């Protein structure tokens, strides 16, 4: 999408973030937005914004969210990219069920095409281990998940995790919303 702020790329006349919030908000108590840069750009969505303490990729955002969520009394964080507008309506319950099968409660979304590690359930108790992992220069989600018994919640519809990275991906998403794909 070039240098566009993906959160605000329009899909069916609404920013991508609005589609993701529509999918997540019914499934969680509250939403935090993990984003660097000016937090004010998200004011219209009414969610607190947390920035990375040490920008090292997606896990930095997860760590910031875990830290903020712990301060709010939460036990878990669900992470998902802002450019996945078709998340399952049962994402959080399925991640929680999968997490019950993991020694540490960590669960990743997956489908027949593979893992979707940016969409995951993170127990706040993993924050110290994640901080140490990042401090050691590590940044791979799958490596951290493997080291912490990450379970899989397998979803039947691969379109649920359609990641919009190009104008062609956006066109496919528009067609899906119109029922022409």
Question: What pTM value is reported for the model?
Answer: 0.92
Q: To which H or E segment does residue 49 belong?
A: strand 49-50
**Residue 1's pLDDT band (cuts 50, 70, 90):** low
Sign, CA torsion 142/39/93/12? negative
42 contacts: CB under 8 Å, gap ≥ 6: 7, 17, 33, 35, 49
Convert the pLDDT of each residue in 57-71 to its tens digit: 899 999 999 999 999
Two tokens, residue 133: 């992992």
pLDDT at 30 over 70: yes
Give me the domains of the chain, ranges plus CATH numbers: 6-172 (3.90.550.10)
Neighbours of 80 (CB within 10 A): 18
Q: Report which DSSP code applies to 166.
A: S
Block residue for tokens 């409660």: 105
Closest listed residue to residue 140, CA positions, set 55, 54, 56, 34: 56
pLDDT at 181 over 70: no
């Amino acid at each position: 999408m070039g240098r566009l702020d993906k959160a605000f790329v329009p899909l069916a006349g609404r920013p991508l973030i609005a589609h993701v919030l529509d999918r997540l908000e019914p499934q969680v108590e509250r939403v935090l937005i993990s984003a660097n840069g000016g937090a004010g750009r998200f004011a219209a969505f009414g969610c607190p914004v947390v920035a990375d303490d040490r920008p090292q990729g997606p896990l930095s955002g997860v760590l910031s969210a875990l830290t903020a969520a712990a301060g709010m009394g939460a036990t878990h964080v669900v992470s998902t990219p802002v450019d996945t507008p078709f998340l399952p309506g049962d994402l959080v319950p399925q991640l929680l069920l999968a997490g019950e099968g993991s020694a540490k409660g960590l669960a990743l979304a997956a489908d027949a095409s593979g893992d979707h590690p940016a969409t995951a359930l993170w127990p706040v108790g993993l924050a110290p281990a994640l901080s140490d992992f990042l401090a050691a220069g590590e940044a791979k989600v799958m490596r951290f998940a493997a080291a912490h018994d990450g379970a899989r919640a397998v979803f039947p519809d691969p379109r649920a995790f359609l990641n919009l990275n190009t104008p062609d991906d956006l066109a496919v998403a528009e067609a899906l919303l119109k029922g022409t794909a």
